[in-house]
Amino acid sequence: MPPVTQALIVANVAIYLLQMLMPGIVVPFALWPLDADSASGGQVSFGVWQVVTYAFLHGGLAHIAFNMFALYMFGAPFEHVVGGRRYLVYYFVCVVTAAITQLLVMQAMGGLYPSIGASGGVFGLLLAYAAYFPRNKVFLIFLPIPMPAPIFVMLYAALELVLGVTGTQAGVAHFAHLGGLVGGAAMIFYWRHVRRLG
């Protein structure tokens, strides 16, 4: 396992274990809406650090297990190709763009609830995997039909959009997932086109 992928997994697992021992850490480090302070009467509030820290918190064993498995599956091959430094920048750009997207959605829809999980970064890594390994096949556990990674990503993104718009799967930040994809797409476009032209 390459070093940055390994470090991210270790950090996520360590913080999850700390979270089990000290559940109160979720409140200051989860991603809260921009107006959380006024909406909650000062009980919770948004802090700029939350656009990163939320990605190291998880809502249960299944949540972190799925995210870390995906981080390993899609992140490790990507890190081998682009190197640790570029990989780390890419991952955190996806985490932050996922957070910004989620903040905009929460602002538009209202509600006072936190967002947690590494899924925004993981979705960015899924896009990178499809971009750098387009001939590799991927399939969902509940839909064991192998398909080329780019088609898998497009179908998954379409599903996330439908679920987000319809609100079918409550408690999942579908638009944050899409925000991670958008951030990843912007980074790959920059590396392949803008930076090359510069």
Q: How far is CA 29 from the centre of its chain?
A: 16
State pLDDT tens for residues 175-188.
999 999 999 999 99
Per-residue pLDDT at 173: 87
Q: Residue 192 and residue 100: Cα distance in Å, rounded?
A: 24
Q: Which tokens go with 134?
A: 């387009």
Domains, the chain, in order of start with CATH, read: 3-197 (1.20.1540.10)
What is the pLDDT confidence band of residue 196, given thresholds at 50, 70 and 90?
Answer: low
Residue 91 has pLDDT above 50, yes or no: yes
What is the pLDDT confidence band of residue 72, given thresholds at 50, 70 and 90?
Answer: very high
State pLDDT tens for residues 30-64.
999 999 988 888 889 999 999 999 999 999 999 99
What is the pLDDT confidence band of residue 197, given thresholds at 50, 70 and 90?
Answer: low
Per-residue pLDDT at 120: 95
State pLDDT tens for residues 4-22.
999 999 999 999 999 999 9
Residue 147 has pLDDT above 80, yes or no: yes
Per-residue pLDDT at 198: 45
Per-residue pLDDT at 121: 97
Task: Pick 145 or 68 by higher pLDDT.
Answer: 68
From the CB of residue 137, how many other CB atoms can be counted at a distance below 10 Å?
12
State pLDDT tens for residues 112-146.
889 999 999 999 999 999 999 999 988 766 667 78
Task: Pick 138 or 102 by higher pLDDT.
Answer: 102
